[in-house]
């Protein structure tokens, strides 16, 4: 699999809005939870580039390696994830898989029981933003930094 085009280089103005939303979310007050959501969305969408990036970001923020590995199986990971993280991950899965889930009322009620309106809106925007970035990454075959580094060692 080889990289296709560098969409950021050929259409930089098209990404400016995404970057602005990304910057907004960094300052939203949700902290590391946004990065955890980015990671889970990227896992769902199988975007290796973004999985690598957000795993590295979370690791730099102090997230233990074991927690990163267990993110895709968070429901079975016991108390590795806090109740707030579990609620965010459940909401992430429902919204990211909208074609399958339709985001039912019970999923909304569960998330709304943990997050205030602004937090829930910000989490939903984070899910939508990362879904868009994932589609670009997969469509244009962005190569994960780790994959490039590991290939040089082989």
Q: What is the pLDDT of residues 2-39, one digit of tens each?
A: 778 998 899 999 999 999 999 999 999 999 999 999 99
Q: What is the pLDDT of residue 147?
A: 65
Q: What's the pTM?
A: 0.93
Residue 118 has pLDDT above 90, yes or no: yes
Q: What is the mean pLDDT of the chain?
A: 94
State mean pLDDT over 113-141: 97
pLDDT in tens, 40-85: 999 999 999 999 999 999 999 999 999 999 999 999 999 999 999 9
- Domains of the chain and CATH, by start: 25-153 (1.20.1290.10)
Q: What is the pLDDT of residue 143?
A: 87
Q: Work out the percent of the chain whose per-residue pLDDT is above 70.
A: 94
For 99-128, what is the mean pLDDT? 98
Q: Is the pLDDT of residue 153 over 80?
A: no
Residue with tokens 């690791």: 59
Q: Is the pLDDT of residue 145 over 80?
A: yes
* Residue 2 pLDDT: 76
């Amino acid at each position: 699999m080889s990289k296709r085009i560098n969409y950021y280089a050929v259409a930089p103005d098209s990404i400016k809005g995404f970057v602005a939303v990304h910057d907004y979310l960094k300052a939203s007050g949700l902290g590391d939870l946004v990065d955890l959501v980015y990671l889970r969305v990227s896992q769902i969408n199988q975007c290796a580039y973004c999985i690598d990036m957000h795993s590295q970001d979370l690791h730099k923020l102090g997230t233990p390696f074991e927690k990163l590995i267990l993110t895709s199986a968070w429901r079975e990971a016991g108390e590795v994830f806090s109740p707030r993280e579990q609620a965010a991950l459940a909401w992430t899965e429902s919204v990211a898989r909208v074609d399958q889930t339709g985001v039912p009322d019970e999923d909304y009620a569960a998330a709304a029981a943990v997050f205030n309106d602004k937090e829930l809106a910000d989490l939903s925007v984070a899910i939508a933003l990362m879904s868009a970035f994932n589609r670009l990454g997969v469509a244009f075959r962005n190569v994960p930094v780790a994959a490039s580094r590991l290939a040089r060692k082989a």
